[in-house]
Amino acid sequence: MTESRARPKRRSPLATTLARLAAVEDGGPALSAHIGLPADTGWTGCADLAGDDAHLDDLLERVGRSYGSGDRAVAGSLFLRAYLWPILVPAVAAFLVDRRVPDVGAANVALRFDERGRADGVAFLEGRFAVLGGNEAAGAAGAVVLASEDEMTAWLGEGLAEAHVPGLFAALRRCGVRRSERALWGMVADLVAEAFGWAGPVLDLEHEARAFAEGMLDGSPHIPGKANHLTLVRDGVPVRTRLKNACCLYYRVGDAPCPTCPRAMRREHSGRPATRGTEGKG
């Protein structure tokens, strides 16, 4: 009798990309992501969280306590930043290095939260990903083949704007977070730009990342907000930075505003020479 053996499951191309990113020396935890739900406990599906007000309320309470603030608008804003960051950084990095973009819809993402209410781990539940037609992974299971890099970044934006953050925004409002739609969407745009801005230098793709952030956000039909890159002259030295679309309210709990605070930045570059965009790109 011939013994039958199960054929080993082929590794997802997206999993291969994420494994490469996890090994980047300067990447740290921000570049770590899983494919499939990990075996350890403590993971919450993002779609489930959007419908579980008690759990979300508990997370917001934890965030507020960790910052010493009872202001639910502050807790909600800081929670949103910590929630989206571990999703966006590996997604953006996978695009930059291999032109592969994971599905970031809420139904395909799970997060692990720490005792402070902040997300400290991300899992993409299925291996579905966008890829260019000429990519070696185009024929793999779960591949969504697109024609251009612009279509890929638009696919990422659509996954956020249509299949993820609207449900989260509604849940935050039910839990007492009083911030305008404009402010919340502005924060999403800021986090997209910051993910590109962080991943680019770590992967030695800084100029390319800036250009893709601008291409994804400026004029996007999905996310109302811009990359807002600019160069300020400080003590005669040009400094690349960006202007946030919305305030994250960190100034209410921190010792100083964020470096890209829209309040402080507008005061700083008022009347000073400033250049917008990616001029000087090399």
Classify residue 204: in a domain, yes or no.
yes
Confidence of residue 135 (pLDDT cuts 50, 70, 90): very high
Task: Please provide the average confidence, as pLDDT, over all residues in the chain.
Answer: 90
pLDDT at 72 over 60: yes
CB contact at 8 A, 115 and 62: yes
CA distances in angstroms from 52 to 59, 172, 174, listed in the order given: 11, 11, 10
Classify residue 83: in a domain, yes or no.
yes
27 vs 74, higher pLDDT: 74
pLDDT at 112: 98
How would you class 237 by CB atoms within 10 Å of its CB: exposed for 0-12, middle for 13-18, buried for 19 or more? exposed
pLDDT at 269 over 90: no
User: Taking residues 81-93, what's their average pLDDT?
Assistant: 98
Segments forming the whole domain that contains residue 199: 13-225
Classify residue 274: in a domain, yes or no.
no
For residues 175, 54, 51, 115, the Cα torsion angle rounded to the nearest 10 degrees is: 90
**What's the distance, CA 195 to chain centroid?**
6
Amino acid identity, residue 126? E
Classify residue 241: in a domain, yes or no.
no
pLDDT at 268 over 70: no
Helix (H, G, I), strand (E, B) or coil at 100: strand
Helix (H, G, I), strand (E, B) or coil at 230: strand
pLDDT tens-digit map of 233-256? 878 888 888 889 998 898 888 777
Tokens read off for 129:
């990903």
pLDDT at 267: 60
Residues 237 and 231: their CA atoms lie apart, in Å, by 10
Beta strands in 91-245 (DSSP E): 100-102, 109-113, 119-124, 129-132, 143-146, 229-234, 237-242
DSSP helix, strand, coil percent of the chain (3-state; round to 5):
50, 15, 40
User: Taking residues 130-139, what's their average pLDDT?
Assistant: 95
Percent share of the chain, pLDDT over 70: 89
Classify residue 112: in a domain, yes or no.
yes
Lowest mean pLDDT among 8-17, 50-59, 85-94, 192-201: 8-17
pLDDT at 234: 78
Classify residue 39: in a domain, yes or no.
yes
**What's the distance, CA 208 to chain centroid?**
17
Classify residue 58: in a domain, yes or no.
yes
**Count of domains for the chain:** 1
CATH of the domain at 36: 1.10.510.40
Classify residue 245: in a domain, yes or no.
no
Confidence of residue 182 (pLDDT cuts 50, 70, 90): very high
